[in-house]
Structure 1
Protein backbone atom coordinates (compact mmCIF):
# COMPACT_ATOMS: atom_id res chain seq x y z
CA UNK A 1 0.00 0.00 0.00
CA UNK A 2 1.50 3.37 -0.99
CA UNK A 3 1.82 6.24 1.48
CA UNK A 4 2.42 9.94 0.92
CA UNK A 5 3.65 13.06 2.64
CA UNK A 6 3.52 16.70 1.62
CA UNK A 7 5.27 19.65 3.27
CA UNK A 8 5.49 23.30 2.27
CA UNK A 9 7.72 26.26 2.94
CA UNK A 10 8.25 29.75 1.58
CA UNK A 11 11.56 31.30 0.57
CA UNK A 12 12.14 34.99 -0.13
CA UNK A 13 14.60 33.73 -2.80
CA UNK A 14 13.68 33.49 -6.46
CA UNK A 15 12.78 30.10 -7.97
CA UNK A 16 16.07 30.03 -9.91
CA UNK A 17 18.06 30.51 -6.67
CA UNK A 18 16.12 27.71 -4.92
CA UNK A 19 16.55 25.41 -7.92
CA UNK A 20 20.30 26.10 -8.06
CA UNK A 21 20.63 24.94 -4.44
CA UNK A 22 18.60 21.77 -5.08
CA UNK A 23 20.86 20.81 -8.00
CA UNK A 24 24.08 20.95 -5.95
CA UNK A 25 24.33 17.97 -3.61
CA UNK A 26 27.29 19.58 -1.82
CA UNK A 27 24.98 22.27 -0.39
CA UNK A 28 22.53 19.83 1.20
CA UNK A 29 24.52 19.20 4.43
CA UNK A 30 24.66 23.00 4.91
CA UNK A 31 20.88 23.47 4.99
CA UNK A 32 19.46 20.11 6.03
CA UNK A 33 19.80 17.35 8.64
CA UNK A 34 21.94 15.40 6.12
CA UNK A 35 25.52 14.81 7.28
CA UNK A 36 27.24 14.32 3.91
CA UNK A 37 26.56 14.15 0.18
CA UNK A 38 28.33 12.58 -2.79
CA UNK A 39 27.60 11.90 -6.44
CA UNK A 40 28.27 8.38 -7.73
CA UNK A 41 30.85 7.94 -10.45
CA UNK A 42 32.96 10.95 -11.31
CA UNK A 43 30.26 13.45 -10.38
CA UNK A 44 31.22 16.64 -8.58
CA UNK A 45 28.74 17.31 -5.74
CA UNK A 46 29.52 21.05 -5.99
CA UNK A 47 28.49 21.18 -9.66
CA UNK A 48 24.84 21.16 -10.76
CA UNK A 49 23.56 17.62 -11.15
CA UNK A 50 21.33 16.48 -14.00
CA UNK A 51 18.82 13.79 -14.88
CA UNK A 52 20.33 10.34 -14.34
CA UNK A 53 22.80 11.38 -11.64
CA UNK A 54 22.76 9.31 -8.45
CA UNK A 55 23.45 11.16 -5.24
CA UNK A 56 24.29 9.44 -1.95
CA UNK A 57 23.21 11.21 1.21
CA UNK A 58 24.32 10.04 4.66
CA UNK A 59 22.60 10.85 7.92
CA UNK A 60 23.98 9.14 11.00
CA UNK A 61 24.55 5.51 10.07
CA UNK A 62 21.94 5.55 7.30
CA UNK A 63 22.46 6.27 3.63
CA UNK A 64 20.05 7.07 0.81
CA UNK A 65 20.77 6.63 -2.90
CA UNK A 66 18.66 9.03 -4.92
CA UNK A 67 18.49 9.20 -8.71
CA UNK A 68 17.35 12.43 -10.36
CA UNK A 69 14.66 11.40 -12.84
CA UNK A 70 13.07 14.66 -14.03
CA UNK A 71 13.98 18.34 -14.01
CA UNK A 72 12.20 21.45 -15.23
CA UNK A 73 14.47 24.45 -14.71
CA UNK A 74 13.43 26.64 -11.80
CA UNK A 75 10.13 24.72 -11.36
CA UNK A 76 10.34 20.98 -10.76
CA UNK A 77 12.76 18.43 -9.30
CA UNK A 78 11.87 14.71 -9.14
CA UNK A 79 13.91 11.84 -7.77
CA UNK A 80 13.62 8.19 -6.78
CA UNK A 81 15.13 6.52 -3.76
CA UNK A 82 16.89 3.38 -4.91
CA UNK A 83 17.06 0.42 -2.57
CA UNK A 84 17.19 0.86 1.16
CA UNK A 85 14.04 0.71 3.25
CA UNK A 86 11.54 1.31 0.46
CA UNK A 87 10.08 -0.95 -2.22
CA UNK A 88 9.37 2.26 -4.15
CA UNK A 89 9.87 5.96 -3.45
CA UNK A 90 9.30 8.94 -5.75
CA UNK A 91 9.94 12.40 -4.34
CA UNK A 92 9.04 15.72 -5.93
CA UNK A 93 9.98 19.31 -5.19
CA UNK A 94 7.79 21.91 -6.90
CA UNK A 95 8.79 25.58 -6.94
CA UNK A 96 6.06 28.14 -7.57
CA UNK A 97 6.73 31.89 -7.85
CA UNK A 98 4.81 33.43 -4.95
CA UNK A 99 2.42 36.31 -5.78
CA UNK A 100 4.10 38.59 -3.23
CA UNK A 101 7.61 37.54 -4.32
CA UNK A 102 9.90 34.67 -3.53
CA UNK A 103 9.14 31.00 -3.98
CA UNK A 104 6.56 28.63 -2.53
CA UNK A 105 8.17 25.20 -2.07
CA UNK A 106 6.13 21.98 -2.02
CA UNK A 107 8.09 18.81 -1.20
CA UNK A 108 6.13 15.58 -1.49
CA UNK A 109 6.56 11.88 -2.07
CA UNK A 110 4.70 8.67 -2.67
CA UNK A 111 6.38 5.61 -1.21
CA UNK A 112 5.92 2.00 -0.25
CA UNK A 113 8.04 0.61 2.59
CA UNK A 114 9.53 -2.87 2.37
CA UNK A 115 8.59 -3.72 5.96
CA UNK A 116 4.87 -4.47 6.25
CA UNK A 117 2.88 -2.24 8.62
CA UNK A 118 5.67 0.36 8.83
CA UNK A 119 3.94 2.85 6.49
CA UNK A 120 2.30 5.00 9.19
CA UNK A 121 5.61 5.33 11.03
CA UNK A 122 7.46 6.35 7.83
CA UNK A 123 4.77 8.88 6.91
CA UNK A 124 5.05 10.42 10.41
CA UNK A 125 8.88 10.42 10.37
CA UNK A 126 9.33 11.61 6.80
CA UNK A 127 6.79 14.41 7.19
CA UNK A 128 8.82 15.85 10.08
CA UNK A 129 12.22 15.22 8.48
CA UNK A 130 11.17 16.68 5.13
CA UNK A 131 9.65 19.76 6.74
CA UNK A 132 13.13 20.46 8.12
CA UNK A 133 14.50 19.92 4.60
CA UNK A 134 12.01 22.33 2.99
CA UNK A 135 12.53 25.00 5.65
CA UNK A 136 16.32 24.65 5.42
CA UNK A 137 16.22 24.90 1.62
CA UNK A 138 14.06 28.04 1.83
CA UNK A 139 16.41 29.82 4.23
CA UNK A 140 19.65 28.73 2.60
CA UNK A 141 18.54 29.75 -0.89
CA UNK A 142 17.64 33.20 0.42
CA UNK A 143 21.00 33.67 2.16
CA UNK A 144 22.90 32.32 -0.90
CA UNK A 145 21.02 34.62 -3.27
CA UNK A 146 21.72 37.66 -1.09
CA UNK A 147 25.37 36.84 -0.27
CA UNK A 148 27.69 39.40 -1.93
CA UNK A 149 29.59 37.88 -4.84
CA UNK A 150 27.61 34.66 -4.68
CA UNK A 151 25.31 33.28 -7.31
CA UNK A 152 23.97 30.36 -5.18
Structure 2
Protein backbone atom coordinates (compact mmCIF):
# COMPACT_ATOMS: atom_id res chain seq x y z
CA UNK A 1 0.00 0.00 0.00
CA UNK A 2 1.30 3.43 -0.89
CA UNK A 3 0.75 6.89 0.50
CA UNK A 4 2.49 10.24 0.06
CA UNK A 5 3.60 12.59 2.81
CA UNK A 6 4.68 16.17 2.37
CA UNK A 7 7.27 15.48 5.10
CA UNK A 8 10.84 14.54 4.17
CA UNK A 9 12.03 10.92 4.64
CA UNK A 10 13.95 11.80 7.81
CA UNK A 11 10.79 13.14 9.45
CA UNK A 12 8.74 10.10 8.38
CA UNK A 13 11.44 7.71 9.60
CA UNK A 14 11.67 9.54 12.94
CA UNK A 15 7.95 8.93 13.53
CA UNK A 16 8.18 5.30 12.40
CA UNK A 17 10.96 4.34 14.83
CA UNK A 18 9.25 5.92 17.85
CA UNK A 19 6.74 3.29 18.94
CA UNK A 20 4.97 5.71 21.29
CA UNK A 21 3.65 7.66 18.28
CA UNK A 22 1.92 4.67 16.67
CA UNK A 23 -1.39 4.93 18.59
CA UNK A 24 -1.61 8.57 17.44
CA UNK A 25 -1.53 7.78 13.72
CA UNK A 26 -2.60 4.16 13.35
CA UNK A 27 -5.48 1.84 14.32
CA UNK A 28 -3.28 0.55 17.17
CA UNK A 29 -4.62 1.40 20.64
CA UNK A 30 -1.50 0.93 22.77
CA UNK A 31 2.16 -0.07 22.52
CA UNK A 32 4.82 -1.21 24.93
CA UNK A 33 8.38 -2.38 24.48
CA UNK A 34 9.29 -5.79 25.88
CA UNK A 35 12.02 -5.99 28.51
CA UNK A 36 11.30 -2.50 29.76
CA UNK A 37 12.42 -0.62 26.66
CA UNK A 38 11.36 2.99 26.28
CA UNK A 39 8.59 3.46 23.67
CA UNK A 40 9.46 7.19 23.67
CA UNK A 41 13.01 6.41 22.52
CA UNK A 42 14.21 5.44 19.06
CA UNK A 43 13.69 1.74 18.47
CA UNK A 44 16.56 -0.47 17.31
CA UNK A 45 16.94 -3.76 15.45
CA UNK A 46 16.07 -6.54 17.89
CA UNK A 47 13.49 -4.55 19.86
CA UNK A 48 10.15 -6.29 20.31
CA UNK A 49 7.04 -4.16 20.51
CA UNK A 50 3.68 -5.35 21.87
CA UNK A 51 0.70 -3.76 20.16
CA UNK A 52 -2.88 -3.84 21.42
CA UNK A 53 -5.78 -3.18 19.08
CA UNK A 54 -9.11 -3.82 20.74
CA UNK A 55 -8.74 -7.25 22.31
CA UNK A 56 -6.07 -8.36 19.82
CA UNK A 57 -2.43 -8.40 20.91
CA UNK A 58 0.51 -8.78 18.55
CA UNK A 59 4.25 -8.89 19.09
CA UNK A 60 6.60 -7.59 16.42
CA UNK A 61 10.37 -7.63 16.34
CA UNK A 62 12.28 -4.99 14.39
CA UNK A 63 14.59 -6.87 12.01
CA UNK A 64 15.86 -4.13 9.69
CA UNK A 65 16.42 -0.38 9.88
CA UNK A 66 17.98 1.62 7.06
CA UNK A 67 17.93 5.24 8.16
CA UNK A 68 15.37 7.32 6.26
CA UNK A 69 14.78 4.43 3.78
CA UNK A 70 13.45 1.16 5.24
CA UNK A 71 11.82 -0.29 8.35
CA UNK A 72 11.45 -4.08 8.52
CA UNK A 73 9.65 -6.11 11.16
CA UNK A 74 8.45 -9.65 11.79
CA UNK A 75 5.31 -10.68 13.63
CA UNK A 76 6.39 -13.13 16.34
CA UNK A 77 2.94 -14.10 17.60
CA UNK A 78 -0.53 -14.30 16.21
CA UNK A 79 -2.23 -16.06 13.32
CA UNK A 80 0.86 -16.40 11.09
CA UNK A 81 3.51 -19.08 10.61
CA UNK A 82 5.62 -16.31 9.17
CA UNK A 83 5.05 -12.60 8.62
CA UNK A 84 7.52 -10.00 7.41
CA UNK A 85 6.42 -6.40 6.99
CA UNK A 86 8.41 -3.67 5.27
CA UNK A 87 7.94 0.07 5.11
CA UNK A 88 9.91 1.66 2.27
CA UNK A 89 10.45 5.42 2.14
CA UNK A 90 11.36 7.14 -1.13
CA UNK A 91 12.15 10.83 -1.42
CA UNK A 92 10.14 12.50 -4.17
CA UNK A 93 11.99 15.11 -6.30
CA UNK A 94 9.02 17.50 -6.07
CA UNK A 95 9.14 17.21 -2.27
CA UNK A 96 7.98 14.82 0.36
CA UNK A 97 8.11 11.06 0.72
CA UNK A 98 6.36 8.13 -0.89
CA UNK A 99 5.60 5.47 1.72
CA UNK A 100 5.12 1.87 0.61
CA UNK A 101 3.90 -0.56 3.28
CA UNK A 102 3.93 -4.23 2.31
CA UNK A 103 4.08 -7.70 3.85
CA UNK A 104 4.66 -11.31 3.00
CA UNK A 105 3.04 -13.91 5.22
CA UNK A 106 1.95 -17.48 5.66
CA UNK A 107 -1.12 -17.96 7.85
CA UNK A 108 -1.34 -20.79 10.37
CA UNK A 109 -4.85 -21.76 9.24
CA UNK A 110 -5.08 -23.31 5.81
CA UNK A 111 -7.33 -21.44 3.40
CA UNK A 112 -7.29 -18.25 5.48
CA UNK A 113 -4.83 -16.54 3.11
CA UNK A 114 -7.48 -14.67 1.07
CA UNK A 115 -9.06 -13.27 4.23
CA UNK A 116 -5.69 -12.11 5.58
CA UNK A 117 -4.73 -10.57 2.22
CA UNK A 118 -8.03 -8.64 2.18
CA UNK A 119 -7.69 -7.53 5.83
CA UNK A 120 -4.01 -6.62 5.69
CA UNK A 121 -4.42 -4.64 2.47
CA UNK A 122 -6.87 -2.34 4.21
CA UNK A 123 -4.96 -2.26 7.50
CA UNK A 124 -1.62 -1.40 5.85
CA UNK A 125 -3.25 1.36 3.78
CA UNK A 126 -4.60 2.91 6.98
CA UNK A 127 -1.11 2.63 8.50
CA UNK A 128 0.60 4.26 5.49
CA UNK A 129 -1.99 7.06 5.30
CA UNK A 130 -1.83 7.71 9.03
CA UNK A 131 1.98 7.79 9.01
CA UNK A 132 1.99 10.21 6.07
CA UNK A 133 -0.38 12.65 7.73
CA UNK A 134 1.18 12.46 11.18
CA UNK A 135 4.71 13.03 9.86
CA UNK A 136 3.52 16.07 7.92
CA UNK A 137 1.72 17.48 10.97
CA UNK A 138 4.80 16.84 13.14
CA UNK A 139 6.93 18.71 10.60
CA UNK A 140 4.47 21.63 10.63
CA UNK A 141 4.62 21.77 14.45
CA UNK A 142 8.44 21.56 14.57
CA UNK A 143 9.96 22.78 11.29
CA UNK A 144 13.50 22.85 12.70
Relative to the length of structure 2, the TM-score reads 0.97
Determine helix, strand or coil for the equivalent of 1:74.
coil
Give the Å deviation of 1:145.
1.2
Aligned to 2:65: 71
Counterpart of 1:3 in structure 2 is none
Cα deviations by residue, 1:99-118 (Å, 9 ceiling, x for unpaired): 21000000000000001100
Is residue 105 of structure 1 aligned with residue 96 of structure 2? Answer: no
* Structure 2, gaps ≥5 residues long: none
1:52 maps to 46
State the alpha-carbon separation in 1 of the partners of residues 93 and 62 from structure 2: 29
Instruction: Kindly indicate whether residue 138 of structure 2 is the aligned counterpart of residue 138 of structure 1.
Output: no
| Structure 1 residue 54 displacement after superposition | 0.2
State TM-score, norm by structure 1.
0.92
Of 26, 32, 49, the residue aligned with 1:38 is 32
- Report if the CA contact (8 A) 2:47-2:62 is conserved: yes
Give the match's secondary structure for 2:126: helix
Contact 2:60-2:74 at 8 Å conserved across structures: yes
What is the deviation of 1:15? Answer: 0.2
Q: Report SS of the residue matched to 1:70.
A: strand
Give the alignment partner of residue 117 of structure 2, picking from 94, 114, 123: 123
**Structure-2 separation of matches of 1:85 and 1:71:** 25
Unaligned runs of 5+ in 1: 1-6
CA deviation vs aligned residue, 1:5-47 (integer Å, no higher than 9, x gap): xx00000000000000000110000001100011001201011
Aligned length: 144
